[in-house]
Amino acid sequence: MIQDDLKYWMALKSIDGIGNASFGPLLKRFRSPADVFSAPLDDLSGIPGISKNSALAIKAFKNWDQILRQMDLLEKMGADIITCLDECYPPNLLNIYDSPVFLFVLGHLPKDMIPVAIVGSRNATAYGRYTTDRISRELALRGITIVSGMARGIDSCAHRGALAARGNTIAVLGSGLDVIYPLDNKKLFDAISQNGAVISEYPLGTQPIPYHFPARNRIISGISYGVVVVEAGQKSGSLITASLAMEQGRDVFAIPGAIDSAHSRGTNSLIKQGAKLIDTIDDILEDIFPQLERPSIQPMQKQQEMFPDTFLEKDTVKNSDPLPPPSKEILKTLSQKKIHADDIIAVAGLPPAEVLSMLITLELKGIIEQHPGKYFSLKK
């Protein structure tokens, strides 16, 4: 049964201007989302990162019926809400920038799982499908939880391989749990939820708009100890996942492919950049298993006093890596006024997928922020 106090978590996250990083300062001052809603306006306005408009929106919040309907639907689905204070919240996710404050989960997240992500092209070749199936089966047989995005192609093969080995697998969606995408993966969705977990940071009813997938990728890489890229073109979304994994300090592995194959240009490029070339799963396990001996960040329920400072640190420490020229051009189109993603794409003159991936990178670096309705602005 979903706990009643979770309605405050959901309500607070639904307010414009309150993102994952905003929870840290609020909880440091008020200790719980329920206390945030009962706090005086002046106290809310004095919290770092909370604008006057956001404070007013908290005090004026009236959409409780909508939140309660969401909770009722989640309960009827058999889904749970897992907050970052819960024991079963994936510990690796606590150590990434913009980690989800809570997750919607259909299925079961094992506390002691060893997650490894496998991603790749939606238009997979026979070689890519065969290789993915073999690697995911063998990893699952060794006790590894296979993480992917339930997309067509490599993602689906990774999930199916784990299921065929009677292993555990996690699908991270770019939509709400009730919006299965692609729809022809309905049977796969059901199998994963019964033999693993389907998770999302998006509320029910959220559609799979393009921007959600680069954002979803940070969870795929963040939840895992390493990311295996099987096939990827030069503009593949899998390369976004690999890039995020590198920024998060995760291991990146790549399957080599034919030098004249468009499906292998991305993976071969990753190998040139330092990703580990793998021939067998032993190449993966020899890098993953030593990580299990390191002290890991524990669920914040055990260290609530450290919780606010952890969030504040993630919010204030920015990645100092230089930005590529296209990102700098996109920044020139932005200001502290909200601009729609379609307008940014039109001005940039670049492919939509490339612009969206740059936007998520800029957001993860803390340079810009996203607002409801696919609007973006420079972060204040």
Q: What is the CATH number of the domain that holds 113?
A: 3.40.50.450
Q: What single string gives the DSSP state of each residue in 205-247?
A: T----TTHHHHHHHHHHHTSSEEEE----TT-HHHHHHHHHHH
Q: Tell whether 48 and 138 lie within a shared domain.
A: no
Q: Tell whether 28 and 174 lie within a shared domain.
A: no
Q: Tell whether 272 and 328 lie within a shared domain.
A: no
Extended strands (E) in 132-233: 145-148, 169-172, 196-200, 226-229
- Quick check: is 1 in a domain? no
Choose among 41, 43, 27, 98: nearest CA to 301: 27
- Quick check: is 178 in a domain? yes
Q: Tell whether 14 and 117 lie within a shared domain.
A: no
- Quick check: is 300 in a domain? no
The backbone torsions φ and ψ at residue 95, rounded to the nearest 5 degrees and listed phi first, read -105, 25
Last residue of a domain, one of 78, 104, 130: 104
Chain centroid to Cα 347, Å, comes to 28
Last residue of a domain, one of 104, 133, 154: 104
Q: What is the pLDDT of residue 299?
A: 47
Do 263 and 229 meet the contact criterion of CB atoms below 8 Å apart? no
Domain count, the chain: 3
- Quick check: is 298 in a domain? no
- pLDDT tens across 139-151, in order? 999 999 999 999 9
Domain with 329 in it: 318-378
Q: What single string gives the DSSP state of each residue in 80-122?
A: EEEETTSTTS-GGGGGSTT--SEEEEEE---TT--EEEEE--S
Q: What is the pLDDT of residue 134?
A: 96
Q: Tell whether 148 and 91 lie within a shared domain.
A: no
Q: pTM here?
A: 0.79
- Quick check: is 306 in a domain? no
Lowest mean pLDDT among 86-100, 183-197, 206-220, 301-315: 301-315
Give mean pLDDT, residues 262-273: 87
Q: Tell whether 191 and 88 lie within a shared domain.
A: no
Q: Tell whether 273 and 179 lie within a shared domain.
A: yes
Do 154 and 257 meet the contact criterion of CB atoms below 8 Å apart? no
Q: Tell whether 86 and 129 lie within a shared domain.
A: no
Q: Tell whether 160 and 277 lie within a shared domain.
A: yes
